[in-house]
Amino acid sequence: MDRINWGYLFGMALQTVPEPRKVARDVFAFAAPRRALWQILALLLVVLTFLAVIQSVLFPVDAEDLDAIFGEGAVDPGLTNPLLSGGIWAFLSFGAVWLIYGIGKAAGGTGTLDEAILTVIWLVFVLVLLQGAILVLGLFAPGLALLLTAMSFVMAFWLLSHFIAEMHGFRSAGAVFAGILMAMMVMMVVLSILLSILGIGMVVDAGSGGA
């Protein structure tokens, strides 16, 4: 069995920023059974959740912190639960696979389901690397950790836009980005409904103005 070349993978992750389409072609060239791809994605999500648990221990966020950032009672403290966030990541990731494949096909794309899975696998892998770096920086340079956190959001959209464009043969990554935003809106609506069913979500305090 071949060993994983972590140095090569790390180099590819760095190359994702300047040459995302080239990295996408290299990632899509990875040949593995579809079942193995789903398992790799699930494993990476477990690792991402584990890092979230570590972050919650090292840098706990309580209700007072949430109130200071978002306003009193605006966010349910349950959303800071790392296991819940892991479940949300799983929902978003597996949902993203089918949306990337289905919407791309409907728009005339030529990508395959395996390429959609590989796209999300690579996204989560890069996020795992970024999350690890954020944890380390949070111990020694909190300001840089916050900056890297913001950059990770930009990186995620950059990666997805170019990978999907390469996967489906689209020319414009900007048009793909617009499609991603619309798809995300749909996924967030569905997610908010599911969280509401579970009794977790945004809380609106309508009684603070008096009666």
Lowest mean pLDDT, pick from 92-101, 159-168, 199-208: 199-208
Residues 193, 136 contacting (CB under 8 angstroms): no
* Confidence class for position 200, pLDDT limits 50, 70, 90: low
Q: What share of the chain is helix, strand, coil (3-state, %, to 5)?
A: 75, 0, 25
From 180, 182, 188, select the one nearest 160 (Cα to Cα).
180
CB within 8 Å of 210: residues ≥ 6 apart = none
* CA pair distance 57, 75, nearest whole angstrom: 20
Q: Which residues face 21 on adjacent strands?
A: none
Q: Is the pLDDT of residue 134 over 70?
A: yes
Mean pLDDT of the chain: 83
Mean pLDDT over 188-193 rounds to 82
From 134, 107, 121, 139, select the one nearest 16 (Cα to Cα).
121
Mean pLDDT over 30-47 rounds to 94
CB within 8 Å of 3: residues ≥ 6 apart = none
Mean pLDDT over 17-42 rounds to 94
pLDDT tens column, 53-97:
888 778 776 555 544 544 554 455 555 566 777 888 888 899 999
CB-count burial class (<10 Å; 0-12, 13-18, 19+) for 36: exposed
Residue 40: predicted pLDDT:
95
